[in-house]
Amino acid sequence: MTEPTHPANAVDITGLVKTYRSTKGRPGKQALKGIDLAIPRGSIFGLLGPNGAGKSTLINILAGLVVKTSGEAKIWGYDVESQSRMARSSIGVVPQELNLDAFFTPRELLELQAGLYGVPAGERRTDELLKAVDLTDKANAYARTLSGGMRRRLMVAKAMVHSPPVLVLDEPTAGVDVELRKSLWEYVRALNAKGVTVLLTTHYLEEAQELCDRIAIINNGELVANDTKANLLRRIDNKKLTIAVDRDLTDLPPALTAQGWEKLDARHLTVAYKPSQTPVGALLSALGENGLGIADLSTEETDLEDIFLQLTRRVG
């Protein structure tokens, strides 16, 4: 028996444009301006951007909640408009809003959602999903009695009732405490290990840096970056070196000042440098040449926040 073929990309977006009509005298807004984006199958993909950048519009088009103006969007190879039924069955979306019926229990909510997706009763995974999100003991409690973190985890389970190959998490850890955030990401990693492609939007940049394989940054409706995490982090060629020297310094030797060194206090010096232009060995050698021994040193690397700010600051 031949194995089913799967697309190379879980999501393919080409020339996607969305323009909202003008209403009540307010001018229309072009929320997406020709977005091209491919999300590789099996990846954890980060979609970042400031408020109003177009992230939610893009996700709502994929979810079938917003109609695109032009361009093409496919989920698991299915066009979101011409093959909408198959496209919707291939995606699970966890929205920012906690839209749960307060008078249903978690078990009832998952059973209802599975029924809406046409999952036969014998194939439903309600107990498995409740266990996976650590809600077995709350299976028969009303949703209104659950904490915010529990509701958030229930939303993830609800999005997975039909076993979609693509899971979209829109700010999933907003308002969730550190412990619950950790358990949620453990579950997401486990899903990804089983082949589920995860599309994540988050305002926690350190979260995206830790979890994602690839990251795209959208700003003002345009894609301003789309690369592997490693390549993005290499994009800003800046490092900072801080040294503790072996004796007190009153003034910096002129040669070190010329090299860019600055004195933090009597025993600590720092220098910002570009690794592509200045080898760290040359900086350390200059200290020795000026009679300074090194007691300790530390370096500060570029992080995702630096890149995010650099790429989004230029567009107001």
pTM above 0.75, yes or no: yes
264-295 pLDDT tens trace = 998 999 998 887 778 888 899 999 999 899 99
Overall fold of domain 9-234: Rossmann fold (3.40.50)
Domain ranges of the chain: 9-234, 237-303
Taking 3-state DSSP, the helix, strand and coil percentages for the chain, each rounded to the nearest 5, stand at 35, 30, 35
Q: Which long-range contacts (CB under 8 A, 24 or more apart) does 301-304 make?
A: 301/233, 301/239, 302/233, 302/235, 302/236, 302/238, 302/239, 303/205, 303/206, 303/209, 303/233, 304/205, 304/206, 304/208, 304/209, 304/215, 304/229, 304/232, 304/233
70-75 β-sheet, strand order: 29-40, 9-20, 70-75, 78-79
Coil vs helix vs strand at 109? helix
Mean of the per-residue pLDDT values of the chain: 87
291-308 pLDDT tens trace = 899 999 888 766 677 777
Q: 237: pLDDT confidence band, cut at 50, 70 and 90?
A: low
Residues 124-130 have a mean pLDDT of 93
CATH level 2 (architecture), domain 237-303:
2-Layer Sandwich (3.30)
